[in-house]
Amino acid sequence: MTHPFDQITTQELQAATKLVKDAHAASDAVHFVQVDRIDPPKSEMVRYLEAEKEGRSLPIIPRRAYVYYYTKQTEFNKAIVNLTYGHVITKQRMPQGVVGPVLGDDMVEIEEYALRDPIVLAEIAKLKLPTGYDVRCEPWIYGTDNPKEDRLLIQVYMYLIGSNKHVESNHYSLPLKFSPVFEMFTNKFVRMDYLPAGLDEKTCETFPWEELKPVEYFPSINGEDTLRELKPLIYQQPEGPSFSINGNAVEWQGWKFMVVPNAREGFAIYDVSFKGRSVLYRLALSEMTVPYGDPRAPYHRKQAFDLGDCGFGANADSLALGCDCLGVVKYLDVVRTDKHGNPVTIAHSVCMHEQDYGLLYKHVNYRTGTSVQARRREFVVQTVATVANYEYVVNIVFDQAGAISVQVRATGILSTMPIEVGKTVDWGTVVAPGVLAAHHQHLLSFRIDPAIDGHKNTVVYDDVVTMELNTALNPFNVGFISKRSYVEKPGFVEQSPFTNRAFKVINELVINPTTLKPVGYKIDMPARQMILGSPDSYNVKRAKFATQQLWAVKYADDELYAAGEFTNQSQKDTGVAAFLENQDSIRNDDVVLFATMALTHVPRAEDFPVMPTDMLPQINILPFGFFEKNPALDIPQSVNSFNKSVYYDDSVQIAVNAASGSCCSKEKL
């Protein structure tokens, strides 16, 4: 039987698009861009989950889907359909100026069209390319600089493929200096933009191309003839994994939750409990924006919103066994629509597996030499999305002591622009001859919907400050205390690293018998630089969420996305900054957090032609006075009869078996 949180099925997606098609005349030329399940209203869902836990009969909650689609090439529409009873609930054309997300397939069509467009071909001709060179192009979300613009536009950046003509040649290493702009769907040529490549904003007409050598990353052409010798390190799980997964429902080491792939967020995690106690209602990446620091037209329009503009799940990679995930691996698939409304399955868009990550705890009693220790086993939920040049690796990692960490790695290929050979600028790094990688920022918003022992929670922050000096209590001036502040009204909390400010979500109605304080979880994030650019810039107006690290608002159905539902060519942020309005107190209420994970990326030469993963500062969601004591005392001690490690052999440097068995109360010799 279907669970209300279960992901949309191919049948459901097909039914949804059929309902919408049937509601339109053929002449409307319905063109789908995104379809997925809508979460049930929380009020109903909470009743459902309670009934589920108590084994009572489950209320029926109709399954619903949203459908984004274009009609007549230029009209953007949204429909909501009831999947359970099979009818359209609402269907409306979005107001002028609201531009929907784009479909990867449509981007590829523009890409192909652009290389046939006569004006583009005429421009290419001016390059007088030596024989053997090919032109490749890459369509980009258009961005925003004009409040009157309401067409769905695409800017196309142009590159060359090296004379090797290899299909995997790194065109990003040979950027050209012109960029045509098209109207989506109609393929109407709008404008040719020329790219500045000097020290200022000036551009020039297209001259014959001066030969440059591409910098390749693909193994067979990257020039690395002798590879480093690396010996296999195999994750063996002879008895199978410690997790059990049934559909979207996961159980591991006391944790219970659901992992649900979707087209926009990649995946969402629902109904998280540890050792039978509720921790989170929902957790997902909510939005991200990537503004670039190059101030010059047309680069000022390079500001991607990879969830709202095109969908993180819809652009997910098919993860491969033993490549993206090791050990015993469970995969889930995401289902997206094509333009006709047919389901497209991206197999293995989410992988789940266990890994070891060092010591979880250890203590040696120096009196007896006895060591007590357990290793840290982690459960990883991973997805990787490819958004044109960049890859984002999103991991939600569970440990055995009640903590969750949200980890993101940025990899892939830097978005490049031309620069005259020998020149350097302060807003970017020269990563190859004639190639500039502009400074940029990755600002990801994670939406955390807590349920700390229930749905009425309070957001607080604790600062550590020195005590009043030269008092009877503090005569040596060494004392420091923790000072608590309550977030009474919706809004943001300022970062304050030098007071060790710690964000927490507590349940004021549940007192921890050990600490005698309310139970809670800590949201641990290092202080970071937030979005740059002036407040009046479109970059900032469109991504208010990125101006602060932590936002707290009151829960509302359908308020999931930090920058708003529709981000493509948006004029302003209709997300968290708008959710705040007309909200009163949020203390001891159904609160939701939006946490901004930020990286200001000043590119390194080492980040090109393919970038070693840049690990963004992680968000740790860990119990703080939630349990009465360390909740991981019930995991097995680590012993070598279990882990079967071996000593390095100095003589022949081949591993030999060590005496197995318990080895953890070894005394100092």
- Using the rule CB under 8 A, is 239 a contact of a second copy? yes
- Using the rule CB under 8 A, is 96 a contact of a second copy? no
Give CA–CA dist 159/389, Å, rounded.
13
Positive or negative CA dihedral for 20, 21, 23, 29? Answer: positive
Size of the site for a second copy (CB under 8 A): 207
- Using the rule CB under 8 A, is 328 a contact of a second copy? yes
Q: Which of residues 197-226 bind a second copy (CB under 8 A)?
A: 200-201, 215, 217-219, 222, 224, 226
Residue with tokens 């030499």: 369
Q: For residue 198, how far is the Cα from the chain centroid?
A: 34
390 assigned to active site: yes
Neighbours of 471 (CB within 10 A): 10
Q: How far is the CB of 589 from a second copy (least distance, A)?
A: 25
Of 347, 509, 511, 556, the one binding a second copy (CB under 8 A) is 347
Positive or negative CA dihedral for 19, 24, 26, 28? Answer: negative
The vertex-266 CA angle with 320 and 412, nearest 5°, equals 60
Q: Cβ closer to a second copy: 92 or 470?
A: 470
Residue type, 614: D
Q: How far is the CB of 222 from a second copy (least distance, A)?
A: 5
| Cβ pair 147, 571 in contact under 8 A | yes
- Using the rule CB under 8 A, is 495 a contact of a second copy? yes
Stretch that binds a second copy, among 64-72, 90-98, 152-160, 325-333 (CB under 8 A): 325-333
**What single-letter DSSP state applies at residue 213?**
-
Joined tokens for residue 642: 């279990």
Q: How far is the CB of 424 from a second copy (least distance, A)?
A: 5
Residue type, 150: D
Tell me which residue of 100, 102, 122, 104 sits closest to 189, measured CA to CA.
122
Q: Which of residues 583-612 bind a second copy (CB under 8 A)?
A: 600, 602, 604-612
Q: For residue 405, how far is the Cα from the chain centroid?
A: 13
Tell me which residue of 445, 392, 406 sits closest to 575, measured CA to CA.
445
Tell me the Cα Rg of the chain.
27
Q: Which of residues 409-428 bind a second copy (CB under 8 A)?
A: 409, 411-413, 422, 424, 426-427
Of 306, 309, 462, 565, the one binding a second copy (CB under 8 A) is 462
Tell me which residue of 8, 6, 15 sits closest to 345, measured CA to CA.
8
Q: How far is the CB of 593 from a second copy (least distance, A)?
A: 20
Active-site residue (options: 36, 39, 306, 462): 306
Q: Which of residues 438-457 bind a second copy (CB under 8 A)?
A: 439
Q: How far is the CB of 30 from a second copy (least distance, A)?
A: 24
Q: What track of x and - describes contact with a second copy for positions 530 through 569 (by CB under 8 A)?
A: x-xxx-xxxx------------------------------
Q: Cβ closer to a second copy: 54 or 648?
A: 648
Q: Which of residues 628-657 bind a second copy (CB under 8 A)?
A: 628-650, 653-655
**What single-letter DSSP state applies at residue 474?**
-
Stretch that binds a second copy, among 87-95, 125-133, 450-458, 511-519 (CB under 8 A): 511-519
- Using the rule CB under 8 A, is 366 a contact of a second copy? yes
| Cβ pair 471, 529 in contact under 8 A | no
- Using the rule CB under 8 A, is 498 a contact of a second copy? yes
Element (H, E) at 391: strand 390-398
Stretch that binds a second copy, among 70-78, 149-157, 369-377, 581-589 (CB under 8 A): 369-377
Q: How many residues does the chain have?
A: 669
| Cβ pair 448, 549 in contact under 8 A | no
Q: Which of residues 102-131 bind a second copy (CB under 8 A)?
A: 104, 108
Look at strands 416-418 and 428-432 and give their pairing. Answer: unpaired
Q: How far is the CB of 82 from a second copy (least distance, A)?
A: 29
Q: Which of residues 36-95 bind a second copy (CB under 8 A)?
A: none
Stretch that binds a second copy, among 27-35, 124-132, 507-515, 572-580 (CB under 8 A): 507-515
Q: Cβ closer to a second copy: 206 or 548?
A: 548
Q: How far is the CB of 560 from a second copy (least distance, A)?
A: 25
The stretches of 491-636 forming alpha helices (DSSP H) are 538-541, 576-579
Q: How far is the CB of 344 from a second copy (least distance, A)?
A: 8
Joined tokens for residue 547: 């101006």
Q: Cβ closer to a second copy: 62 or 147?
A: 147
Looking at 531-590, which runs of residues are DSSP E strands?
550-554
Joined tokens for residue 287: 């939005």
- Using the rule CB under 8 A, is 337 a contact of a second copy? no
Look at strands 266-274 and 255-262 and give their pairing. Answer: antiparallel
Active-site residue (options: 281, 390, 521, 555): 390
Of 86, 130, 147, 322, the one binding a second copy (CB under 8 A) is 322
Tell me which residue of 327, 332, 376, 375 sits closest to 353, measured CA to CA.
327
68 assigned to active site: no
Q: How far is the CB of 170 from a second copy (least distance, A)?
A: 9
- 256 by DSSP, 3-state: which? strand
- Using the rule CB under 8 A, is 429 a contact of a second copy? yes
- Using the rule CB under 8 A, is 481 a contact of a second copy? yes
Of 175, 308, 341, 625, the one binding a second copy (CB under 8 A) is 625
Q: Which of residues 285-314 bind a second copy (CB under 8 A)?
A: 291-297, 300, 303
Element (H, E) at 572: none
Supply the residues annotated as catalytic: 306, 390
